[in-house]
Homo-oligomer: A and B are copies of this chain.
C-alpha cells in the first residue's frame, strides 16, 4: 500500500512535460540524460521533474552502473485512479439521494 497524499499526486500529474517523461519511460527505463536526448528540455529540468514524480511515488530510481535509470510505477497510477473513482462514486451516490428527495420519492 503506497497511500500517497493524493493531492500532490494530482499536482504532479497536472503538467504536460511530466506526462511526456512518463510516456518516454513507458518505452523502457531511462536516465535523465537519455530523456534529455529525446525531449525538448534540458537534463536538469528533467531531473527536477523526475524528483517530483519520485516524491509522489509515480516513478522510482534504479542505479545501473554510473547512471540512474527511472521506472514508472504503474501501480501508483492505478491506486490513485481507484481512490479517485471511489470519491466520484460517493458523489454520484449523494447526488442520487438529493435527486430522490427533490422528486418527492
Contacts and interface: CB of A to CB of B under 8 A. Distances in A.
A79 to B, nearest CB: 8
B91 A72 contact: yes
A82 to B, nearest CB: 7
Interface stretch (A7-15, A30-38, A43-51): A7-15
Given A14-B12, A26-B91, A81 B85 contact: yes
B78 A88 contact: yes
Contact of A26 (B16, B76, B82, B94): B94
Given A14-B10, A15-B7, A84 B87 contact: no
A15 B19 contact: no
A39 interface: no
